[in-house]
Amino acid sequence: MNPRFTIEATDGAARLGRLHTAHGELQTPAFMPVGTYGTVKAMTPEELEGLGAQIILGNTFHLLLRPGPRVIAAHGGLHGFMHWQRPILTDSGGFQVFSLKSLRRLSEEGVRFRSPVDGSEVRLTPEDSMDMQLALRSDIAMALDDCTEHPASEGAARASMERSMRWAERSHRHYYATEPPGGLFGIVQGGMHPALRLASLEALLRLDWPGLAVGGLAVGETEEERLGILEGLVPHMPAQRPRYLMGVGRPEDIVAAVLRGIDMFDCVMPTRHARNGHLFTATGVINIRNSAHQDDTGPVDPGCECYTCRNYSRAYLRHLDRCNEILGARLNTIHNLHFYLALMRALREAIRAGTLTAWARDFLAARRAADAVA
């Protein structure tokens, strides 16, 4: 079924919404933990649910290479394969293919690349991406796009964006050719050029999408560039559709984007940071590997109510990290995902209460103060 979006409250440009999918509904603004290989690294589905994860993201590129569509289809799709019963969004695979750079060959048809797993040649066209996402039976699929390089001249960004729009149309036609298990989101491209962004949006809106994403950000641009693009684009996006900012980001980036009307986010930061010993706290990010934590019997964040902070000390987490223990990656991931998902709950509560502006000002001021100290 196509996801349906309802808006329950607004506060400035920010929206409190509810997205209904074949695997239940989720409240927005929402953060999607990333489950690259059919697992949000180190977590069970029950743990993710306990942390308040409403939806996760699966990576089409990685799952295409391993284990491939046949194995997942034999389990009835990605939900059954990985034992996750809530909604799943899958990306198109485009972003990962384009990051292969020299290993890929691009044409109007699509992209061909050497598998980093076994060296075989793999083809990814818009139709291939749709077929894979249909095999995964995700609740939200993404159109295949040509990921514009950064920085890109206006000419290069326009050519790339226009190809993305042709691919978006092919994606849409192929995805909806039969009764799909979910809905397909289109992706606005156009690099750092506001006029191209609006042209991309206009092109997309010739078709009906249950949601729209902003791609091509979180690629190395400055915060000013990113916010400038959002401020020029988001007010023109259909109000009644969810808006997904792909690959963003730091907690402060998420807050800034919610203030500008974004509803959905994904980022590897909380999970990847966790495995590298970087833990989010109310007063900034700490590196648990630092020797300052060696004898610290206190929790990562005294105000945090996560399982890790309720039961384990900084000294223990540092010890696990030094010994490369799996439990360390687990406990750190629990903490960081709790931080992100609690942030999303706080944002939703502030929108409902109509206090988002003041809440965000305090939050961002505390982050800047913490960064100034760190």
Which residues carry out catalysis? 91, 266
DSSP code, position 68:
-
Binding its own copies by CB under 8 A: which of 75, 114, 163, 272? 75
Task: Tell me the window of 3-11, 32-40, 171-179, 208-216 that interacts with its own copies (CB under 8 A).
Answer: 32-40
The two structure tokens encoding residue 104: 């890929």
Of 187, 142, 185, 141, nearest to 164 by C-alpha is: 187
The two structure tokens encoding residue 351: 């929108």
d(C-alpha 278, C-alpha 295), whole Å: 18
Of 274, 268, 244, 270, nearest to 89 by C-alpha is: 244
- 101 touches its own copies (CB under 8 A): no
Give the residue with the Cβ less far from its own copies, 241 or 318.
318
Of 113, 200, 189, nearest to 150 by C-alpha is: 189
Binding its own copies by CB under 8 A: which of 202, 231, 295, 349? 295
Binding its own copies by CB under 8 A: which of 156, 282, 292, 326? 326
Contact by Cβ (8 Å): 72, 58 = no
End-to-end CA distance of the chain: 47
Q: Which amino acid is at 39?
A: T
Binding its own copies by CB under 8 A: which of 4, 18, 112, 319? 319
Binding its own copies by CB under 8 A: which of 19, 51, 82, 360? 82
Shortest distance (Å) from residue 246 CB to its own copies: 23
d(C-alpha 52, C-alpha 54), whole Å: 6
- 113 touches its own copies (CB under 8 A): no
Collapse the DSSP code of 330 into the 3-class scheme (helix H, G, I; strand E, B; otherwise coil) and give the result. Answer: helix
SS3 content of the chain, % helix, strand, coil (to 5): 45, 20, 35
- 70 touches its own copies (CB under 8 A): yes
Shortest distance (Å) from residue 313 CB to its own copies: 6
Q: How many CB atoms lie within 10 A of CB 102?
A: 7
- 325 touches its own copies (CB under 8 A): yes
Binding its own copies by CB under 8 A: which of 220, 297, 302, 373? 297
Give the residue with the Cβ less far from its own copies, 259 or 320.
320
Binding its own copies by CB under 8 A: which of 12, 50, 67, 232? 67
Q: How many CB atoms lie within 10 A of CB 252?
A: 17
Task: Tell me the window of 134-142, 215-223, 234-242, 310-318 that interacts with its own copies (CB under 8 A).
Answer: 310-318
- 168 touches its own copies (CB under 8 A): no
Residues within the interface to its own copies (CB under 8 A) = 37-39, 41-44, 66-67, 70-71, 74-75, 81-83, 294-295, 297, 311-313, 315-316, 318-320, 322-323, 325-327, 329-330
